[in-house]
Structure 1
Amino acid sequence: MKSIYYLKELTKFGHRGSATKNEKQAADYILNELKKMGYKVEIQTFKTTRDNLYMLPLQVGVLLFICGLFSLMYGRPLEIAAFLLSLFAISLLLLEVSGKPIETSIMPRHLSQNVFTTFDESRSKRIIVSAHYDTQRGSLMYHPKIVDKLSIIYNICYVGFGLVPIGILLKALKLNVIAYISLYLGLFIVFVTVIFMAICEVTGRYTQGANDNGTGTALTLALANCYINNKDKFPDNVDVIFLFTGSEEAGERGMKNFIKKYGKKLPKDTQFIILDNLGSGKITYLEGEGIVFYKRASELLFDVAEDMAKGHADKVQKMKNLLLPTDALPAMAAGFDAIAFLAKDEKGRLGNYHWYTDTIENVDTELLDYEEEFFKEYLLKVAQRLN
């Protein structure tokens, strides 16, 4: 199978950290492979921060902590300014998880790139099969003994962040008892979060990223190879694009920049199929994306997945959404149809997620073979349904 070969080549880079030299080398490899297949290929470069997973909550937390302290120490008139500034800090987090292509970080920017096959303007329908090829840094946050509790940790952090502006507002309204309870509890949670994120930022090291997302990238390359050699099986008016995004781990920056530049050139019924973390467990398709701003998966793409699941009952499952979004969210936020596929166990866990055991030795190669055939069939059925 082609996907295993591609995965072996991708993992030779050690890591493919967002907006790093290694990521650029991986992009060049993908570009050359697509050209060898016979595709015309484009590169879209853009500037992005290398990390928003740790640094953005850290920045927002510091800002909220300062606002809370100013409210406690000085009161009016700084209290109103502190409240407005705390709302601005919260809005940065909300914008980040909305999928909108708006920069939220003040950190330095570096070059990253998307690689994709060119559009066939003669065809009226379009399917975009996409995978991000960059890798994340593992840290204490994703330690195997902690990762299953991430949902609880995130929710506590969100509550703590929200308590700070609420406490400032209540204090301004002279509701002092409940205001001080909200502020002190919020500041404590924010302080702990800032320290924790700072530790993760300083100690974090890049993973090999065999599963996340070497598997999705390898499968997308295998699908590209299959498609160009079997175009006669696809409807004449359906164009299939293969998109490899950089800096997804920095907050879907690759997909956001792709949508920002090329979104207006795409038909509104363009279908985005996102492949991510497919190295262990069962093929899992998501009903939607987003924790705060929930977007449902494409009806067409979801229905085809439902139909195929009936014939692969022991290998395929569905789940509502993820704690963190995939590249499907920016496409959905822009009004396009999208669906994300991952491989998860029955409890919803991703294999070796953002941890140093995310190596090629821990990828289920039999599953990868199975997925390659599954997605070939899925892509053809989507094209036929779209037509």
Structure 2
Amino acid sequence: MILKTNMKVQEIENKIMDGNTSSKNLNEDNAYRITERLAFPRLIGSEGEKKAREIVVDEFTKAGYNPIHRDEFKTSFHTWIFTRYIFLIIGSVLLFLALSVYINPYLTITVFVLGLYGSFNALSISVSTKIRLCKNEIYNHDTENIYVNLKSQNSKAKVIFIGHWDSKSQSFSTSTRMMIFIIFIFGTLILYLIFFILSLLKIFIDFNLPILNNILLDTCIVIAIIGAFNYFNKTGNESPGAFDNAAAVGTIMELARFYKKNPINNIDLLFLCTGSEELNLGGAIHFIQKYKDKFDKNSTFFINLDFIGGAELIRLMSSYGIPRKSSSDKLNKLFLESAEELKIKIKDIYAPTGVWSDYMPIVQEGFEACWLASQPGLKYVHTKNDNMNLISKEGIKNILLLCVDVVTKLENEQENL
């Protein structure tokens, strides 16, 4: 069945009204049911994680898929252990840079160059496309990606829906962590620039401003203390993870069931549930490194679902990182167009740092990928309050409507080639 791009909003919504999971209609109740099944702590290496894997396999089976691919890989807590300590080191270098101003401008420039180089290398781990393991095996774990394929008649393009099934809790909410990262990283970069300019001026102009030096030192102390708070952001297994990210898995399962009943002609579909997103984006990294040579970058589209299910505004994360890196202009445009046609509220968002998702290593490899999220936002993520109270059937329904409409647009585009 090929849905037409000019389908009226009511016609699309009618496909989401039926409560029968064996019907050909979209069913947000089914996605909500699966979300409830998965809304319990699922940290990598825990018993909850093992239970979650079996639920994912069970739901793919119920949707009529065979075979179900279970792609095992090894992951670790290396990234989060590293991140907790690296801010302490960068903050210490920042303080040494501030103290060097009292000694010699040449020393300041030397510390500036070495510190900036080391900081960028250290922070580049956030966009790494490698899984780093710990020397201590207690921090390494075996996990897996679970996915199914749905071949089309003509196989002109491929759409991959991706969402992680693992969860974690942390001492701070994601919104607090994001603020720590933004203040510390931007504050450090600005201070580095100020110290560099001052040291150059001091080489050519003999001057001394003790008050300015003291103000800069005090500012560095404040920024270093803010960064040091990240050390206390420990990872645990207390969050039910309904918003992050059981609702996305439930939605992907419902899309898999729907398209199994309603196959399309031109686009192959792959429904991918990843592991270890919360530790290091490990599932996405493993998947794209293993299969990137088998996908055509011009006709493969990744739709990442993460932080969905809220009834409020949908967030289209169209760019991320420092420096800013854009994701798929094509997919972002299609989702914005579909949201306007379906009268669904959506906002284009830039995420500078402090928040990550599975589409990032995929974008790093040059593929078309986008990230759909929603409010209520980040303040409940990675806390005990990330529960079913954050999830609404309306929010799930809106994501289903958008995904089906965008796939329809891509399908019709391929039909006309």
> Same fold by TM (over 0.5)?
yes
Change (3 A) 1:328 1:249: same
User: Is the counterpart of residue 213 in structure 1 residue 227 in structure 2?
Assistant: no
- Provide the residue aligned with 2:309 in structure 1: 279
Counting aligned pairs with the same residue, the percent is 22
**Which of 177, 181, 186 is matched with 2:220 structurally?**
186
Q: CA deviation at 1:248?
A: 1.5
Alignment of 1:64-143 (within 5 A): 64-67=90-93, 86-97=115-126, 99-103=127-131, 108-118=139-149, 120=151, 123-142=155-174
Alignment of 1:136-285 (within 5 A): 136-142=168-174, 147=175, 152-162=179-189, 182=216, 185-194=219-228, 196-201=229-234, 205-231=237-263, 234-235=264-265, 237-269=266-298, 270-282=300-312, 284-285=314-315
Q: CA deviation at 1:374?
A: 4.2
Q: CA deviation at 1:295?
A: 3.2
Distance in 2 between residues matched to 1:298 and 1:69, nearest whole Å: 40
**Which of 358, 364, 388 is matched with 1:333 structurally?**
364
CA contact (8 A) 2:131 2:285 kept: no
Distance in 2 between residues matched to 1:330 and 1:359, nearest whole Å: 28
Q: CA deviation at 1:299?
A: 3.5
Q: What is the CA deviation profile of residues 306-328 of structure 1, one whole-angstrom value per residue up to 9, with x for unaligned ones?
A: 33222332x33122223523222
Distance in 2 between residues matched to 1:28 and 1:2, nearest whole Å: 17
* Unaligned segments of structure 1, at least 5 residues: none
**Which of 54, 58, 65 is matched with 2:84 structurally?**
58
RMSD: 3.6
CA contact (8 A) 1:90 1:161 kept: no
- Provide the residue aligned with 2:65 in structure 1: 38
Distance in 1 between residues matched to 2:114 and 2:237, nearest whole Å: 33
Change (3 A) 1:38 1:17: same
- Provide the residue aligned with 1:294 in structure 2: 324
* Unaligned segments of structure 2, at least 5 residues: 1-28
Q: Which amino acid aligns with 1:29?
A: I
Q: Which amino acid aligns with 1:241?
A: L
Q: What is the CA deviation profile of residues 129-186 of structure 1, one whole-angstrom value per residue up to 9, with x for unaligned ones?
A: 11111113132345xxxx4x66654332114443686688789877686777656643
Q: CA deviation at 1:336?
A: 0.8
Q: CA deviation at 1:302?
A: 2.6
Distance in 2 between residues matched to 1:139 and 1:268, nearest whole Å: 39
Q: CA deviation at 1:49?
A: 2.7
Q: Which amino acid aligns with 2:335?
A: A
SS at match of 2:48: helix
Considering only CA atoms, is the larger Rg found in Structure 1 or Structure 2?
Answer: 2
Q: CA deviation at 1:40?
A: 2.0
* Total equivalences in the alignment: 369
Q: What is the CA deviation profile of residues 346-377 of structure 1, one whole-angstrom value per residue up to 9, with x for unaligned ones?
A: xxx34733322111233213432454344334
CA contact (8 A) 1:301 1:382 kept: no
Distance in 2 between residues matched to 1:246 and 1:327, nearest whole Å: 10
SS at match of 2:350: coil
Change (3 A) 1:48 1:214: same
Change (3 A) 1:188 1:300: closer
Q: CA deviation at 1:67?
A: 4.0
Distance in 1 between residues matched to 2:119 and 2:134, nearest whole Å: 15
Distance in 1 between residues matched to 2:269 and 2:238, nearest whole Å: 32
Distance in 1 between residues matched to 2:338 and 2:237, nearest whole Å: 39
Distance in 1 between residues matched to 2:51 and 2:389, nearest whole Å: 22
Q: CA deviation at 1:252?
A: 2.0
Q: What is the CA deviation profile of residues 189-243 of structure 1, one whole-angstrom value per residue up to 9, with x for unaligned ones?
A: 224422x2232217x5531001111111100011011111211xx12x4210011
CA contact (8 A) 2:334 2:406 kept: yes
TM-score, with structure 1 as normaliser: 0.80
